[in-house]
Structure 1
Amino acid sequence: MPLSIRQLRFFVALSQTGNFSRAAEAMAVSQPALSAAIRQIETLLDTRLFDRTTHSVVPTQAGRALLPHAWRLLTTADNAFADMTSVLRNSRATVRIGAIPSALPATAQIVARIDEDAQGVNLHLADGTSDTLIAELRRGALDMAVCVASLIDEGLVSTPLIEDDMTLVLSRNHPLAGAPSLHWSALAGMEVVHFNSGSIGEISASAMRENNIVHSRRFRVDHMESLFGLARSGLAAGVMPRLYVRGHDPAALAVIPLVEPSIRRKVVLLAGAHLADEHPPAAAIAAHLAQVLPGALGAVV
């Protein structure tokens, strides 16, 4: 007998709260009813999902392994119910797209054009880090994601979009601002902002270590605009992927490719392997994005 959506909700509620009373309250059922439901789930799956003590309820190894799958099924079900309501009320299917911040402007321009022409599609667009988007994709909260990914999870399909090269961001008044390109060795002795956040910070830090370049001890930031502000002031330089500096003010900032070695991050479109069967309108949108995004992002595939 397969598990029901309601049983999965009971399992997730107890996993989250670690307490039968609070989980029962959250699910608006009596505690004995919740306890009976959990016992039934464990019987159906022929495994113990929780270790119970007097004061706590903790998922077993099997329970922890089951939890992300339960989340994915519940998210997919919630989205499917919302989509059915949308179709019945508006005759429009919902397609959910995620994008990293540097790729969102180009993605938004394409989505806007689709949105103008689409008769039967309701498009949702959200941003996030690559890790967040991939997690949302895995649990069914997104239909596709424009992100940076090297290792592709089983069940996902990756379409290469662009290779985004690393650049040096300088004040327009810097002596090297007019260079067509620079070797990484040119950063030696510079105050290079230490960008703390996400994959960008990891990529730049790794590249600098490989080239024996040390980040500034004076300037550490978590936000892109802070890095650009430091560069504009002339206090420090920044290392950023090209996508992040599109649209910058060329009168204030110089953006110079870093070469020898050229270091690039691969931006891809991720979607579920069975998207065409599960959500044909989303699969059509994904195919369109895969075709037009490389040009919109303005880099070489």
Structure 2
Amino acid sequence: MDLNLRDIRALVAVAEAGSFTRAAQRLHLSQPALTVQIRRLEEVVGARLFDRNSRNVALTPTGRELLPLLRKSLRDMESVLRDARAMGVGESGTIRIACLPTFAASVLPELIIGMKREVPRVAFEIRDVVASTVNALVRGEEADIGLTGGAGGAGGDWADPLLEVLHAGVDRLVAVCPRGHPLAKKRRVVPDDLARLPLVLTAPGTSVRAVVDAALGETGKTLEIACEPTYMMTAVAMVRGGLGVTILPETAREVRAEPGLVVRPIDHPAFVRPIALVKKRGRTLPAVTERFVERMRATMNAPR
């Protein structure tokens, strides 16, 4: 037979009240029920814990030695229960998210601030990585949710059978060039404009590059690729240095980080990166993560 929370709470109540009657009232129990709990605890311990007579109740030497230990156990177990209840209703916990760097550098900070105002005890583990790594982290359960892109369609037809799409949307791509560049004089650009220019494209394997390769491949022209950086900020720096024009998501803060550069929309439906919020199929999300997912959905639905 094991110790349980109710029996320990009964012993502490009797010890503090010095009376079975008063302790039973405090615990909202009948006196016989309280007596049964104390006897059960004594059986588990293998020793008498109270000396009783018609006028009072007193701890035995064994009871006096055990009382501080049991009080500590009671506090610890009640603390665990409070924490468990808080996690169960989404009032605490850790949100583990893997996401595209674009998202991490744009709307994620505001989302975290808003969540911390609502749930002060929430913690975050953030992995800002390319789409293929986002998917791998969610599949491997190193992240509970992922904001990924570059595969499947905006309607949620994502190829990975291990991932469940919680929300899907799109991220439109734009051309970024220096203010003095001929492309800057155009209100909108078309794929042929881009195909004849030196290009600074994000590295193969990134979600943006997959969309750009497919879209520019429709022109049938051989592309002049000046360089292929992994990070968008590096691409922006290369454009600033005059190496070429880059194509990035319009949500990326990097595209507006340099006052000497301008952004132009691309007049073609293929220049759209599908994005999706995913979790591992069949896995239950922590309640606090579910609350954060609702915030992310609202942000992804908001007009830009």
TM-score range, shorter chain: 0.5 to 0.7
Residue in 2 aligned with 1:211? 219
Distance (Å, rounded) in 2 between the aligned partners of 1:174 and 1:278: 48
Amino acid at match of 1:106: V
- Asked if residue 116 in structure 1 is aligned to residue 117 in structure 2, the reply is yes
Matched residue, 1:199:
207
The answer to which of 156-165 and 124-133 deviates more is 156-165
Partner of 1:185: 192
Tell me the distance in 1 between the aligned counterparts of 2:221 and 2:250. 20
| Structure 1 length-normalised TM | 0.61
Counterpart residue identity of residue 191, structure 1: P
SS of corresponding position for 1:103: helix
Contact 2:190 2:268 in 1 (8 A): yes
Q: Distance in 2 between matches of 1:220 and 1:138?
A: 28
Q: Equivalent residue of 2:141, what SS? A: coil
Name 2:178's counterpart in structure 1: 171
2:291 match: 284
Rate the CA distance shift 1:187–1:85 in 2: closer, same or farther, 3 A. farther
| Structure 1 gaps, min length 5 | 1-83
1:110 shift after superposition: 0.4
Structure 2 counterpart of 1:127: 128
Deviation per residue, 1:233-284 (Å, 9 max, x gap)? 3331112222235561463111111123442111111123445x55222222
State the match for 2:242 in structure 1. 234
Distance 1:166 1:244 in 2: 9
Distance 2:148 2:119 in 1: 24
Counterpart amino acid of 1:142? A
Distance 1:145 1:228, change over 3 A: same
Q: How many residues align?
A: 212
The match for 1:98 is: 98
> How many angstroms does 1:187 deviate by?
2.1
In the aligned structure 2, how far is the partner of 1:209 from the partner of 1:85? 58
CA distance in 1, matches of 2:294, 2:220: 42
Equivalent residue for 1:254? 262
Q: Against the structure 1 CA distance between its residues 101 and 163, is the aligned structure 2 distance closer, same or farther, given a 3 Å change threshold? A: same
**1:25 match:** none
Q: Is the 8 A contact 2:232 2:248 kept in 1?
A: no
One-letter amino acid of the counterpart of residue 95, structure 2: V
Quick check: 1:181–1:259 contact (8 Å CA) kept in 2?
yes
Change (3 A) 1:188 1:95: closer
Residues 100 and 244 (structure 1), Cα distance of their counterparts in 2 relative to 1, 3 Å cut? same
Question: Matches of 1:205 and 1:211 in 2, distance apart?
Answer: 10
Q: Equivalent residue for 2:233?
A: 225
Aligned-partner SS, 2:256 = coil
Q: Distance in 1 between matches of 2:113 and 2:81?
A: 23
Match in the other structure for 2:73: none
The one-letter code sitting in structure 1 at the alignment partner of 2:125 is H
The amino acid that maps onto 2:176 is V
Q: Is the 8 A contact 2:176 2:247 kept in 1?
A: yes
Cα RMSD for the two superposed structures: 2.9
Q: Aligned partners of 1:245, 1:205: CA distance in 2, in Å?
A: 22
How far off its partner does 1:179 sit? 2.0
Aligned to 1:157: 164
Q: Is 1:145 aligned to residue 146 of structure 2? A: yes
* 1:167 counterpart SS class: strand
CA contact (8 A) 1:185 1:211 kept: yes
Gaps in structure 2 of 5+ consecutive residues: 1-79, 153-157
Secondary structure of the 2:198 match is coil
User: Are 1:155 and 1:272, in contact at CA under 8 Å, matched by a contact in 2?
Assistant: yes
SS of the residue aligned with 2:233?
helix
